[in-house]
Amino acid sequence: MIGIVDYNAGNIKSVERALAYLKAPYILSKNPKDLENCEKLIFPGVGEAKYAMEQLKLTGFDSFLKDWVKAEKPLVGICLGSQIIFDHSEEGDVDCLGLLPGTIRHFSNVWKGEGSDAAGILKVPHMGWNNLTYQNGSSPLFAEVEEKSDFYFVHSYLIQPADSTIIKAYADYGCQVPACVSKGSITAFQFHPEKSGKAGLKILENYINA
């Protein structure tokens, strides 16, 4: 059974539709207790990091997710859910879940730090389709998904993990944008697999069947 974390900041309907299409049994809940017996979790999210962290604390999902990962149970983060698993976000200057070491930075600050002229050329948010390059051995969840496949992105902030070896795929948008990170029982996607056609559905199918 797949559990979907509903903390009032998620792209819930599209995830539900994708799982229904794949005929995967799932539970959607705002109550952590309802998800305790699930085998795997999907942690989606859109919106602002500070608000999301407030909601996680109000619902008790902050401690639930920390305990879940401590128990080495499978967790997939999507979009905002791929970001707030890290230590800190510049969006709202907020401390996040700290499940993985790293920070979340605005595109403009990353571009500036790398001396890129992308700020004068590229728009923020990074929105639309972008292809991926695999690295560091990729992830088993990309099985049967060809490198350079296109996925759908919508974000203004990007993951900057403390350990770059956990980046399993990246996109190019004025810099290398970590698109998939994985360590232990955690895998997280900056893009939206549930909105990315056949390739995205294959990733979710691989997670369901893993």
Quote the CA–CA distance of 207 and 156 in Å, as a whole number. Answer: 26
Using the predicted structure, report yes or no on whether residue 128 has a pLDDT greater than 90.
yes
Mean pLDDT of all residues in the chain?
96
Structure tokens at 169: 């795929």
Lowest mean pLDDT among 4-18, 29-43, 119-133: 4-18
Quote the CA–CA distance of 117 and 105 in Å, as a whole number. Answer: 17
pLDDT at 117: 87
What total of structural domains would you count in the chain?
1
Closest C-alpha to 198, from 126, 150, 131: 150
pTM, entire model: 0.96
Between residues 63 and 119, which one has the greater pLDDT? 63
Quote the CA–CA distance of 150 and 108 in Å, as a whole number. Answer: 24
pLDDT at 119: 84
Domain assignment of residue 90, given as a range: 2-209
Mean pLDDT of 25-45: 97
Beta bridge partners of 171: 177
Quote the CA–CA distance of 64 and 106 in Å, as a whole number. Answer: 28
Q: Mind giving me the DSSP string for 121-147?
A: TS-SSEEEEEE-EE-TT--GGGTT--T
Closest C-alpha to 139, from 185, 87, 195: 185
Mean pLDDT of 119-135: 96
Any idea which residues carry the catalytic annotation? 79, 192, 194
Mean pLDDT of 112-120: 88
> How sure is the predictor about 30, in pLDDT bands with cuts at 50, 70 and 90?
very high
CATH number at residue 90: 3.40.50.880
